[in-house]
Structure 1
Amino acid sequence: MARSIAELFQRLTTGIYVIGVADGNRRDAFTAAWLTQVSFDPLMVALSVNPDNASHAMLKNSGRFAVTILKQEQLELARHFGTRSGADTDKLAPIDWAETPAGMPYLKAALAWLDCRVNTITPAGDHELVLASVHAGELLDAEAVPMSDAETGNMDNSAALFPASFPSDHGHS
């Protein structure tokens, strides 16, 4: 058994993404690891978002977001967008970025991007699950390898958020 629940869950195979949001003239982005494809027809993804994230209101207000798929060697970009709040700083200012057809920001030096429209948002514990349709996208670097969550270690100190043990399941059969 893993030494901790955090170590166990950090071995789930997830990528690292920068989620770009816009609301009016405001733009922001944040790092996310909990994103997965959930449907072929229509093309859909599910994204888990912390409602305390400074970008959360922008995502909800616009009903759109962009997914930037990071490359293995882009740990500093993941750190830049994952460890600083956009509430009091323009995280996109020093970065080369562009907009999707719907006006959502994505990082130009990435592996690929997706343009997503929110279908539903559902509470999911301390996060919200955002189901979204994918309306556009582009592969920017076909030779690149996607970054995985395991490569980031505990850069955002999220290991401290895991419980110390699993809840007791006295009702198992």
Structure 2
Amino acid sequence: MSEAIADLFKSLTHGVYLIGVADGETRNAFTAAWVMQISFDPLLLALSINPDHASFPLLESGGAFSVNVLKKDQPDLAEHYGKSGDPGPLAEPDWTTGKFGPPLRNDAMAWFECKAKYIAPAGDHMLVTGEVVGGKLLDADAMPMTYADTGNLDGAGALFPDSFTG
């Protein structure tokens, strides 16, 4: 049953993030759980995004993105930016603009600013690698939100197969 496989994948510990993208004055953000560090030298992060998401063209054309680490007590933000469609304006004082253009969340636990380096297909998503060019720890006492904290907020339970193949 797909629910059992979804529960299995929730045991992989990973956080919940708001990914900020921009191209010129057009800005957007989306919730992501598939973010990881992949290199120390250069310092690289990778994320996964559905190519049909409205943020993907902004990421491609803007050439930069931010990774905003959500706090455990911010499930409302994960839900708001996890919905399909336009989340609405990314207004001050909640957001500011990074050096290379992507929006940075002022009440996040931390943020990273990245310049996109590589984009490649990865199943039904695109894998994006970015070089970290800035970052800031905003709340050292906060606990990061984990994917397991979100339950089935993203509806991903229905996307897992009913059994493994091969």
Q: Could you tell me which residue of structure 2 aligns to residue 132 of structure 1?
A: 130
Q: Could you tell me which residue of structure 2 aligns to residue 156 of structure 1?
A: 154
Tell me the amino acid that sits aligned with residue 78 of structure 1.
A
TM-score w.r.t. length of structure 1:
0.91
Structure-to-structure mapping, 1:46-57, within 5 angstroms = 46-57=46-57
Deviation by residue 1:69-124 (Cα, 9 ceiling, x = unmatched)? 011101111111002422xx525248711111112101101111100011111110
Q: How many residues align?
A: 166
Percentage of matched positions with identical amino acids: 51
Give the match's secondary structure for 2:21.
strand
Unaligned 5+ segments in structure 2 are none
Verify the 8 A CA contact 1:81 1:91 in the aligned structure 2.
no
Q: Could you tell me which residue of structure 2 aligns to residue 119 of structure 1?
A: 117
Give the match's secondary structure for 1:4.
helix
TM-score w.r.t. length of structure 2:
0.94
Give the match's secondary structure for 2:90.
coil
Q: Could you tell me which residue of structure 1 aligns to residue 71 of structure 2?
A: 71
Q: Whose Rg is larger?
A: 1
Measure, in 2, the Cα distance between the counterparts of 1:151 and 1:96: 23
The verdict on how the C-alpha distance between 1:3 and 1:52 changes in structure 2, with shifts beyond 3 A counting, is closer
Q: Could you tell me which residue of structure 2 aligns to residue 28 of structure 1?
A: 28
Verify the 8 A CA contact 2:6 2:160 in the aligned structure 1.
yes
In angstroms, what is the RMSD of aligned CA positions? Answer: 1.7
Deviation by residue 1:116-171 (Cα, 9 ceiling, x = unmatched)? 0111111100001111100001110111111100000111211111111111x2xx
Q: Could you tell me which residue of structure 1 aligns to residue 103 of structure 2?
A: 105
Q: Could you tell me which residue of structure 2 aligns to residue 37 of structure 1?
A: 37
